[in-house]
C-alpha cells in the first residue's frame, strides 16, 4: 500500500521542491554564494543570507538518521495506513529531510541503515519515499 | 551588564493554583483569572500594582470557548497593566521579559499565567485535526504530531547510547510516586507499576501513551518582583539566583539527539554561571516533562549525567520520593497536571517555601531540606529552553 496521507501544503518557497518531485527529481536548494544546501526550502540562505540559489539534484542513496513507527492514528484519515514509518533521512552533504520508509514489512530498520530513493505518484503531486537497501 | 549582577535580584512572591484535573464546564479565561486572583492573594499585593501581564501560549479556543488574550484577562480582573503580552508559539521568552521589566524598574510586579480547558474540551495538538487539511509539507508523510518529533530524537538517542523504554519507565514511575502523595495531582494514589507501563500500547514507537503528558483543565499563575519589594510580602520570597534562556531555531528533524549546544545545554550553562554554582550544589530539579524522554534530555544536557551513565542515573529510587536526587516532586506534567512551564516552576517555589505537605523535601523520610532547586521550561521540540536556579531568601 502506498503511504498516502495529506496533499502537502505548498508555499511559494517550497514550490520548486514539489515541482521537481513531479519529474522524479529530488531538488534541494544550494546557495550560489556559499554553497550551503538547505531543506526546508527558504528564500534566503541561513548561513550567508544570500537569496541567490540553484537547485541541486540529490543522489538516490541516503542514510537513515532516525525513524518512528506510528501505531495510533493522530487523524482519522491515517487510520487505515497504520502502522507506518516516518523517517529523518540524511542526504548527501549532511542535510536532513523528513520522508517515509516503505516496503519494510517484516524488516527491522536501524539508525545508520542505507536507503534508496523511490517515488510515489498521486494525482496532484509525487512524493519521495525510501526503501531499505539490501 | 554582566548577568551575575542580576543574581538574586528577582523574586517569585506569589503562586496561584486553581481547581485542576478534570473540571468540566469552565472556560480557559476563567482559569487564568482564578489563578491570578489566587496568586495576588498569596503574595499579598494590590492588583492595581501589576505592571505587566504575560500569558503563556495562545491556544485556539475549543469547546464553545471564546478566544483568550491578555486583554480579556486584564478586563475580567479589572486591572490596567502597562504591558499586556502573550506567547503565540511554543517558544519560551517570558523570563527575559520578566527580568528586563523588573531590573529596569519599569514594572513593580509581573504576572505570568496559564489557563486551559484542554482536558474537558479535548484539545488536540495535531493541527490538521483543527484545520481539516495540511498546514505544511510534512503532512504529506503523515508526520502530524508533536509526539512524533520528540519520538524521532528519542529513537536516535536510544540507538546512540542505549536509552529506551526501560529508562523512560523509571522516569514515569518515579514521578508517579511523587504524584501518589500530592492530593492535587491527577494521579494521586493511582499507582503505576512496571507491568502497567509495558502493557500500554505504543502510540508513536518508541513512545507509549504513558510516556506522554495528558491534558488538564485548570490554571497556574506566578508573580515576580524585585528582591527589594519582595521583603514585605506575605510569603517567604524565593529568589532567582541564576537563569538562562536559549532558542535553537532549527526544524526538529535538523536537531542532533546529542548536542552540547542544545537549547537546554546553553540555558543550563548560563544559569549555572550566573548563579555561581555547579550541578553538585543542586538539591532537586523541577523540569518540563511533556514526555518522559524530555526529562532525560534536560538532565543530560544540564550535565547531571553522561549518556553512558543513563541506566545507572535515571532510576525510580534516585528520582522518586526518598531518593537522593528528587525530580518533579509534584508528579510533574506527566502525573500532576499540564500547565506547561508553570507546573515545574511553581513546584520549585513551593518546595523552597516549605509548603508541600507530605511530599515536602526535608520532611519526607530520606530527603534533605533543599537550598537550591533547578527548574526548566522547554518549548517546541527541545528547541527552546528557560532554566532557573531558585533559592529561598534568608
Q: Are residues A14 and A78 in the same domain?
A: no
Residues belonging to chain A with any Cβ–Cβ distance to chain B shorter than 8 Å: 3, 5-10, 14, 17-18, 40, 65-72, 74-75, 78, 81, 83-84, 86, 88, 95-100, 110-112, 125, 127
Using one digit for the tens of pLDDT, what is the confidence trace for A64-105? 999 999 998 777 777 888 999 999 999 988 999 999 999 999
- Is residue A17 located within the same domain as residue A78? no
Which residues in chain A are contacts of B128 at CB distance < 8 A?
6, 74-75
Q: Where are the alpha helices (DSSP H) in A71-122?
A: none
Residue B129: its chain A contacts at CB < 8 A? 74-75
- Residues from chain B that touch A3, judged by Cβ atoms under 8 A, are 141-142
Indicate the number of domains in chain B: 2
Closest CA to A87 of A115, A59, A106: A115
- Tell me if B144 and A7 make a contact (CB, 8 A cut-off): no
Would B131 be classed as within a structural domain? Answer: no
Asked if the structure places residue B132 within a domain, the reply is no
| C-beta atoms of A75 and B128 within 8 A | yes
Task: Work out the angle at residue B105's Cα, subtended by the Cα atoms of residues B104 and B109, and round it to the nearest 5 degrees.
Answer: 120
Which of A57, A72, A91 represents a domain boundary (last residue)? Answer: A57
Assigned domain for B235 exists: no
Same domain, yes or no, for B45 and B179?
Answer: no
Per DSSP, the three-state class of B221 is strand
Question: Is B374:B304 a contact under the CB 8 Å cutoff?
Answer: no
Calculate ∠ Cα B70-B378-B239, nearest 5°. 75
Residues B33 and B47 in one domain: yes
Smallest CA–CA separation between B177 and chain A, in Å? 27
B150 and B264: one domain?
yes
Same domain (yes/no): B170, B45: no
In chain A, the percentage of residues whose pLDDT exceeds 90 is 78
Asked whether residue A2 is domain-assigned, the answer is no
Residues B187 and B222 in one domain: no
Which range of residues forms the domain containing residue B44? 3-124+217-230
Domain assignment of residue A101, yes or no: yes
Same domain for A53 and A93, yes or no, is no
For an interface test with B, give the residue of A6, A41, A90 to mutate (most B CBs within 10 A): A6
In this structure, are B165 and B286 located in the same domain?
yes
Whichever domain contains A134, its CATH number is 2.40.50.840
**What are B255's three cell numbers?**
536537531
Distance CA B283, CA B352 (A): 11
Range of the domain at A22: 10-57
A37 and A69 part of one domain = no
**A37 within some domain:** yes
> Which residues on chain A are in Cβ contact (under 8 Å) with B153?
66
Tell me the nearest-neighbour CA distance from B155 into chain A, angstroms.
6
Q: CA–CA separation, A11 vs A8, rounded Å?
A: 9
pLDDT at site B131: 64
Contacts of B389 (CB under 8 A, 6+ apart): B240, B241, B242, B243, B271, B272, B274, B275, B277, B282, B372, B373, B374, B375
Residues B150 and B44 reside in one and the same domain: no
Query: A82 and A29 in one domain?
Result: no
Same domain for A128 and A71, yes or no, is: yes
Q: What is the DSSP string of B288-344?
A: --SBHHHHHHHHHHHTSS-GGGHHHHS-HHHHSTT-SS-B-TT-HHHHT--BTBHHH
* Inside any domain, residue B130: no
Q: Do B202 and B349 fall into the same domain?
A: yes
Q: Do B201 and A71 touch (CB under 8 A)?
A: yes
State the DSSP code for B137.
Answer: G
For residue B100 the three cell numbers come to 528586563
Among A22, A40, A57, identify where a domain stops: A57
* Interface mutation target, options B253, B257, B293, B381, chain A, most CBs of A under 10 Å: B253
The predicted structure's pLDDT at residue B333: 98
Which residue shows C-alpha cell 549525567? B305
In this structure, are B263 and B366 located in the same domain? yes
Q: Is the dihedral of CA B159, B267, B207, A100 positive or negative?
A: negative
Q: Which of residues 215-244 of B touch A (CB under 8 A)?
A: none
Query: Looking at the domain assignment, is residue B135 inside a domain?
Result: no
- Strand pairing category for A27-31 and B50-55: unpaired
Q: What's the pLDDT score for residue B132?
A: 67
Q: Tell me, yes or no, whether B176 and B148 share the same domain.
A: yes
Do A127 and A65 share a structural domain?
Answer: yes
Residue B111 covered by a domain:
yes
- The SS3 of residue A70 is strand
The last residue of a domain, from among A19, A39, A57: A57
Rg of chain A on CA atoms, in Å: 15
Do B365 and B254 fall into the same domain? Answer: yes
Residue B302 lies in a domain: yes
**Cβ burial, residue B315 (10 Å; 0-12/13-18/19+):** middle
- B80 occurs within a structural domain: yes
- The pLDDT of residue B130 is 62
Looking at the structure, tell me whether residues A129 and A64 fall in a common domain. yes
User: What number of residues does chain A have?
Assistant: 134
Task: Give me the pLDDT at residue B298, please.
Answer: 98
> Which chain A residue lies closest to B155 (C-alpha atoms)?
A66
CA closest to A101 among chain B residues = B141
**Does residue A116 share a domain with residue A94?**
yes
Instruction: Please give, rounded to a whole number of angstroms, the shortest distance from the CA of B92 to a CA of chain A.
Output: 22
Neighbours of B182 (CB within 10 A): 22
In chain A, DSSP finds a helix count (H) and a strand count (E) of 1, 8
CATH number at residue B86: 3.40.47.10
For residues A40 and A72, membership in a common domain is answered with no
Number of structural domains chain A divides into: 2
Q: Which residues of chain B have pLDDT under 50?
A: none
Q: B88: Cβ–Cβ under 8 A, 6 or more apart, which residues?
A: B57, B58
Indicate if A104 and A45 belong to the same structural domain: no
Report the residue of B141, B156, B209, B254 to disrupt the A interface, i.e. the one with the largest count of A CBs within 10 Å: B141
Residues B215 and B223: their CA atoms lie apart, in Å, by 24
Nearest C-alpha in B relative to A83: B204
B142 and A72 within 8 Å at the Cβ level: the answer is: no
Among B128, B147, B156, the residue with its CB nearest the CB of A66 is B156
Residues from chain B contacting residue A40 (CB–CB below 8 Å): 137, 251
Same domain, A123 and A72: yes
Residue B266 shares a structural domain with residue B209: yes
Amino acid at each position: 500500500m502506498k503511504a498516502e496521507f495529506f496533499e502537502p501544503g505548498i508555499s511559494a518557497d517550497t514550490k520548486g521542491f514539489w515541482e521537481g518531485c513531479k519529474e522524479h527529481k529530488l531538488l534541494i536548494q544550494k546557495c550560489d554564494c556559499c554553497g550551503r544546501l538547505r531543506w526546508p526550502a527558504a528564500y534566503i540562505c541561513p548561513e550567508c543570507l544570500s537569496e541567490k540559489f540553484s537547485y541541486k539534484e540529490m543522489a538516490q542513496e541516503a542514510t537513515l538518521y532516525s525513524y518512528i513507527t506510528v501505531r495510533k492514528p493522530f487523524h482519522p484519515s491515517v487510520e487505515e495506513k497504520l502502522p507506518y514509518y516516518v523517517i529523518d533521512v540524511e542526504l548527501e552533504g549532511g542535510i536532513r529531510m523528513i520522508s517515509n520508509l516503505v516496503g519494510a514489512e517484516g524488516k527491522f530498520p536501524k539508525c545508520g541503515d542505507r536507503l534508496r530513493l523511490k517515488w510515489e505518484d498521486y494525482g496532484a503531486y509525487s512524493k519521495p519515499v525510501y526503501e531499505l537497501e539490501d | 551588564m554582566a548577568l551575575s549582577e542580576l543574581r538574586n535580584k528577582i523574586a517569585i512572591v506569589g503562586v496561584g493554583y486553581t481547581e485542576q484535573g478534570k473540571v468540566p464546564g469552565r472556560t480557559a479565561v476563567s482559569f487564568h483569572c482564578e489563578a491570578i486572583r489566587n496568586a495576588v492573594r498569596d503574595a499579598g499585593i494590590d492588583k492595581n500594582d501589576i505592571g505587566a501581564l504575560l500569558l503563556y501560549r495562545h491556544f485556539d479556543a475549543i469547546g464553545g470557548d471564546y478566544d483568550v488574550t491578555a486583554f480579556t484577562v486584564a478586563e475580567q480582573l479589572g486591572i490596567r497593566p502597562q504591558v499586556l503580552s502573550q506567547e503565540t508559539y511554543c517558544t519560551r521568552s517570558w523570563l527575559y521579559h520578566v527580568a528586563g521589566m523588573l531590573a529596569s524598574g519599569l514594572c513593580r510586579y509581573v504576572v505570568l499565567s496559564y489557563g486551559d480547558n484542554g482536558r474537558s474540551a479535548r484539545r488536540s495538538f495535531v493541527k490538521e485535526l483543527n484545520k481539516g487539511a495540511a498546514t505544511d509539507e510534512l503532512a504529506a508523510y503523515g508526520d502530524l504530531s508533536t509526539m512524533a518529533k520528540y519520538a524521532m530524537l528519542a529513537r536516535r538517542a536510544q540507538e546512540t547510547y542505549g536509552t529506551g523504554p526501560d529508562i523512560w519507565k523509571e522516569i514515569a514511575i518515579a514521578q508517579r510516586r511523587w504524584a501518589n502523595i500530592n492530593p492535587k495531582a491527577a494521579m494521586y494514589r493511582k499507582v503505576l507499576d512496571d507491568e502497567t507501563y509495558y502493557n500500554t500500547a505504543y502510540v508513536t514507537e518508541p513512545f507509549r501513551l504513558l510516556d506522554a503528558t495528558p491534558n488538564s483543565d485548570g490554571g497556574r499563575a506566578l508573580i515576580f518582583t524585585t528582591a527589594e519589594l519582595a521583603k514585605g510580602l506575605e510569603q517567604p520570597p524565593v529568589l532567582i539566583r541564576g537563569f538562562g534562556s536559549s532558542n535553537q531555531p532549527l526544524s526538529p528533524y535538523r536537531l542532533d539527539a546529542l548536542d552540547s549546544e542544545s537549547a537546554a545545554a546553553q540555558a543550563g550553562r548560563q544559569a549555572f554561571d550566573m548563579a555561581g554554582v555547579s550541578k553538585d550544589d543542586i538539591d532537586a530539579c523541577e523540569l518540563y516533562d511533556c514526555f518522559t524522554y524530555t526529562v532525560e534530555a534536560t538532565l543530560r544536557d544540564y550535565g547531571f549525567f553522561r549518556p553512558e551513565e543513563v541506566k545507572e542515573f535515571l532510576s525510580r529510587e534516585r528520582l522518586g520520593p526518598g531518593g537522593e536526587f528528587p525530580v518533579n516532586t509534584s508528579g510533574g506534567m506527566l502525573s500532576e497536571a499540564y500547565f506547561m512551564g508553570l507546573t515545574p516552576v511553581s513546584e520549585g517555589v513551593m518546595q523552597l517555601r516549605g509548603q508541600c505537605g507530605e511530599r515536602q523535601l526535608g520532611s519526607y523520610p530520606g530527603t534533605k531540606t533543599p537550598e537550591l532547586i533547578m527548574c526548566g521550561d522547554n518549548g517546541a521540540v527541545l528547541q527552546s529552553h528557560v532554566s532557573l536556579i531558585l533559592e529561598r531568601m534568608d
